[in-house]
Structure 1
Amino acid sequence: MSISYMDYTSPNVQFAYDVNNSLFFKKDSRNFINVLSINQLNTLGNVSLLDIYLSTGNVVEPHIHQNASELVYCISGAAVVSLINPFTKELLNFPIQPGQVANVPQGWWHYEVASVDNTHLLAIFDAPIPEFIGGSDLLRLTPASVLAHTYCLDEAQVKETLAPITKTVFIGPPNDCKTGQVQGKAAANPMASPTVQPTAYPAVNPLANPAFANPGYYNQPEYGHQPRQNVYYQQPVIGNGWYYNN
């Protein structure tokens, strides 16, 4: 529990807020994110949330939260929460439906893909303001020459490939994405060939099967009574991407 220094006798103290009045990002009328942090509700303490609405195939872009863990709760619809375990080098995909959750440890690379229309997710963070570092920013701000040299790539091809990324994407694909850029099975179904399926789930395509059965999260020891590992906090801190500075 966080220590509160709030003066609860102050006339400025807040105990309620309408999250619908705090838009964080909007792609269109079916794909947008509202935010609640200590900036909106000053009695929150060490917690914040993103209220996420997505239609089929839309993606909360690959990103990290350097200062917070994220608990993704599905309110309606269905989505796949994907994360990379930096210690086992595995890509893990967790399909969730209403009432189900997936947890992303602090600083881990992850993304969410809606598998049906009218998907509504609640992302809850253990920080007063979650910091966001998007993959789009890492790709567009790292010089193509550095990427090409580091990974033995063709610099001209790197520049051409990354040129359309001119700002933080947040929810992709962007509205100005050319039709040809999203055609093909890989683009239409980003989960068609996941690298690793988590042990508790059958090896299926979660986007092709939105009516995924209860995967039994709570039968896994890592979701139950294991002691918390300090290894999460040994990861380097990168950048200072506050939501509200974007």
Structure 2
Amino acid sequence: MAVSYLDYTSPTIQFTYDLSNNLFFKKDARNYINGLSINQLNTLGNVSLLDIFLSTGNVVEPHIHQNATELVYCISGSAVVSIVNPFTKELLNFPIQPGQVANVPQGWWHYEIASVDNTHLLAIFDAPVPEFIGGSDLLRLTPASVFAHTYCLNEAQVKETLAPITQTVVIGPPNDCHAQQVQDKGSARSPYPNHAYFSQPYGSTTYQHPDRPQHQMPVIGNGWGYR
């Protein structure tokens, strides 16, 4: 436990906070995240959290927290927490329901997908302000030529595929995304073939973005590190 040097007699000391006053990101009325860090509640110490609300199929985008472990607790609904184990090179999928948790070690690549509507998750971090690197930022900021050269890909196709990613996504798919069924001879597959989590065959869906105007993601001046 870290030693606290707070002056607990100060009139600025805080012991309570309403998370609804700190909207971190909002996709729509059913998909949004409220945040709490030491910047909102100065007595927190080495802990912080995200209060996450999702509807079916919505995803907290693939990302890492390079300075914090994340404990994901399901309050209501259900979700799948997916983690890439960097040691075994395996993708691990953990379905959680109310009262269940999934733990994401510090710096591990992970994401969460809601299995039903009205899913409510609480993500708890062992850092006063968890840092964040989103997959959308890695994809949009890395030149297509680097991906193409490194992985022996067609640069034009890489550039065309990634061009619609113009900002940090946070909760996907974006509102202006249009889902279309892939026209192929294969059967529709869930991304989790051993579990029927979704009413739609997400594994057989391609998200195609039309030309869309760029819009700014809200930047909350709370020190979360999301931009």
- TM-score, with normalisation over the residues of structure 2? 0.84
Instruction: Give the equivalent residue in structure 2 for 1:24.
Output: 24
- The 8 Å contact of residues 132 and 225 in structure 2, kept in 1 or not, is answered as no
Instruction: Give the equivalent residue in structure 2 for 1:168.
Output: 168
2:53 partner letter: Y
Q: Which runs of 5+ in 2 are unaligned?
A: 200-222
Instruction: Give the equivalent residue in structure 1 for 2:107.
Output: 107
Instruction: Give the equivalent residue in structure 2 for 1:46.
Output: 46
Note the 1:68-79 alignment, pairs <5 A: 68-79=68-79
1:243 partner letter: W
The structure-2 alpha-carbon separation of the partners of 1:208 and 1:27, relative to structure 1 and needing over 3 Å to count, comes to closer
The structure-2 alpha-carbon separation of the partners of 1:124 and 1:7, relative to structure 1 and needing over 3 Å to count, comes to same
Note the 1:1-246 alignment, pairs <5 A: 1-180=1-180, 183-184=181-182, 191-193=191-193, 204-205=194-195, 207-208=197-198, 243-244=224-225, 246=227
- The 8 Å contact of residues 57 and 189 in structure 1, kept in 2 or not, is answered as no
How well do the aligned residues superpose, as a CA RMSD in angstroms? 1.9
Write the distance in 1 (CA, Å) between the matches of 2:47 and 2:155.
Answer: 42
Alpha-carbon offset, residue 131 of structure 1: 0.7
Task: After superposition, give the CA deviation of every residue in 1:198-242 in whole Å (9 maximum; x if it has no partner).
Answer: xxxxxx215159xxxxxxxxxxxxxxxxxxxxxxxxxxxxxxxx6
SS in 2 for 1:57: coil
How many pairs were matched up?
201
2:36 partner letter: L
The structure richer in strand per residue is 2
Write the distance in 1 (CA, Å) between the matches of 2:198 and 2:136.
Answer: 27
Task: After superposition, give the CA deviation of every residue in 1:51-87 in whole Å (9 maximum; x if it has no partner).
Answer: 0000000000000000000000000000000000000
SS in 2 for 1:53: strand
Task: After superposition, give the CA deviation of every residue in 1:21-61 in whole Å (9 maximum; x if it has no partner).
Answer: 11000000000000000010000000000000000000000
The structure-2 alpha-carbon separation of the partners of 1:130 and 1:189, relative to structure 1 and needing over 3 Å to count, comes to farther
SS in 1 for 2:41: coil
Runs of 4+ in structure 1 deviating by more than 4 angstroms, as ranges, are: none
Alpha-carbon offset, residue 2 of structure 1: 2.1
The structure richer in helix per residue is 1
Task: Report the identity percentage.
Answer: 78
Task: After superposition, give the CA deviation of every residue in 1:169-195 in whole Å (9 maximum; x if it has no partner).
Answer: 000000111233xx3599x976234xx
- TM-score, with normalisation over the residues of structure 1? 0.78
Write the distance in 2 (CA, Å) between the matches of 1:89 and 1:161.
Answer: 25
Alpha-carbon offset, residue 243 of structure 1: 2.5
- The 8 Å contact of residues 84 and 91 in structure 1, kept in 2 or not, is answered as yes
- The 8 Å contact of residues 116 and 198 in structure 2, kept in 1 or not, is answered as no
SS in 2 for 1:106: coil
Write the distance in 2 (CA, Å) between the matches of 1:206 and 1:97.
Answer: 14
1:38 partner letter: I
- The 8 Å contact of residues 48 and 129 in structure 1, kept in 2 or not, is answered as yes
